[in-house]
Each structure stands twice: as C-alpha cells, then as structure tokens.
Amino acid sequence: MLNFRQICVLFFLIEGVIYFLLRGSDVLFPVLFLVLFAYLILFFFSMRLTSNFYLKAKNSAKKGCVVLGFDDGPSPETTLKILDILAEHRAKAVFFLIGKNAIQYPNIVREIINRGHLVGGHTLNHSANFGTLNLTRAEEEIMGGINVVEGIISQKITLFRPPFGVSNPVIAAIIKKNDLEVVGWNIRSYDTINKDTKKMLKRITDKIKDGSSILLHDRVQNTVEILPDILKDIQNKKLHICPEIDW
C-alpha cells in the first residue's frame, strides 16, 4: 500500500508523463491542472478526519449529549487537575493517551480509569510525520501506543484518535485490521495555539449544542482554567456530558 511520500512521487511522475505526452497540445495545461486538483483534494481530505473520506469516525455525540475528549496526556502538571474538575461536576470524559507519556506516568493512567473515565490510543510517540508513515511504521505507532496503555490498565482498548486528525488509506487499513473505533470531533478548541482564554471559551461555548464532541488537550493550562465554565455552559443548556462513547 502506498504511503504519503510514495503518493506524492506518483503524482509527480504522472504530471511528468502527461507533460511529455501532451507537450505542445492545447489540452496540456487543463489536464495538468485536473491532476493537480485531484491531488489537492486527496490531501485536503487526508487532513480532515471529520470528512469521513478514508474511514468512518465518530464525530458527534448521541442525542442530548456532549462528549469531552482530551488528547496528548497524561500530563503530570495538568491531567490530575482536570480529573478533579470533572469530579466536581460529576462529568466523565475520554482521554486519548500517548504511549510514551503513559510509560512515564502510569499512575495517572490508572487514576483516569479509577475515576470512571474512558481511555483511547493516540499513538506511541505522536510523531509530526505520522501521516507519511508506511503501513509497518504506522501500525507500530498506533498499536504500540494502545498496547502500552492496555498493559497499564489491564483492559482492552478499542478507541483511537489519530494525531492531527490525519487519515489516509494506510491508517484506514490498520483501523480495519485491528477492529478499532476512530473518534473525531465537531468542535475544535484550538487550545494548543489560542492563548486568550476568553476567546477560546467563547469559541467553544458558542458552538456547544446537542450532539457536540469537543476536542481538548489535558496538557494545556488554559484548558484547565476554562474547563469549569465549559461544563457549566453544557449543564445550563440542559445537556448531558456523556460517560460513554456509544453514539
């Protein structure tokens, strides 16, 4: 199966062949444009997990519910604070854990489970080039992270969220082979880049409605600060914070 780099090379070669065969022709540039446009479409959808283009992700909560999903943990500075806030509001969430972080902080992983939350995989290393990996390396990342967490909590994990929301045919094949459920979102907080807590809170609460699934990161201090207000907004809207991924 082709990985991202090979697909890029393939499109480059196709463009070269088309140029060689059609040079001097009036249709050369329209054909080259169409091929380039097709490539850009595939690239666009590979970066949009919520499109369900390569694989089907669960991007929304069931009726009457809101789901909170926390990526990139566990973090020794902030994850326990978030667990305390959730406990105060009697709310449950899903934590998508990075394997290398779980290895460092296994007690926090166990605490997440002990407090009744769900956990999912978020790869072993959260590599910046995750979307370009070949089948073998991508499976090592996906299942390596899941296996680490399973070993800590002695439970089977079926939930997975790809880093950066990347999807492609390689990732889709691994998901199918290992019978995983991919969890997406329909509200992206951008909490890792937005440093203004008021703007970040407004961005989230303006969009919260029946069926919302919110992407947050438990390693971010600003997320800790605005989480109580997010939970209050959900409750004020008479919505339930779902304890399970069952939509």
Digit-coded pLDDT (tens) for 153-197: 999 999 999 999 999 989 999 999 999 999 999 999 999 998 899
pLDDT for residue 52: 84
Q: Architecture of domain 55-241 in CATH?
A: Alpha-Beta Barrel (3.20)
pLDDT band, residue 246 (cuts 50/70/90): low
Torsion of CA 212, 145, 127, 105, to 10 degrees: 90
pTM of the predicted model, to two decimals? 0.85
DSSP the chain: ---HHHHHHHHHHHHHHHHHHHTT-TTHHHHHHHHHHHHHHHHHHHT-GGG-SSS-EE-SPPTTEEEEEEEEE--TTTHHHHHHHHHHTT---EEEE-HHHHHH-HHHHHHHHHTT-EEEE--SS--TTGGG--HHHHHHHHHHHHHHHHHHHTS---EE--GGG---HHHHHHHHHTT-EEE--SEE--TTT---HHHHHHHHHTT--TT-EEEEETT-HHHHHHHHHHHHHHHHTT-EE-SS---
d(CA 16, CA 199): 47
pLDDT band at 42 (very low <50, low <70, confident <90, very high): low
Question: Average pLDDT for residues 212-222, to the nearest whole number?
Answer: 95
**% of the chain with per-residue pLDDT over 70:** 88
In which band, very low, low, confident or very high, does the pLDDT at 20 lie, cut at 50, 70 and 90?
Answer: confident
pLDDT of residue 195: 85
Q: Please, what is the angle between helix 197-205 and helix 221-236, to 10°?
A: 30
In angstroms, what CA-CA distances link 93 with 71, 115, 117, 198? 11, 10, 5, 23
Considering only CA atoms, give the Rg of the chain: 20
Residue 3 has pLDDT above 60, yes or no: no
Cα–Cα distance between 91 and 88 in angstroms, integer? 8
What confidence score (pLDDT) does residue 245 get? 57
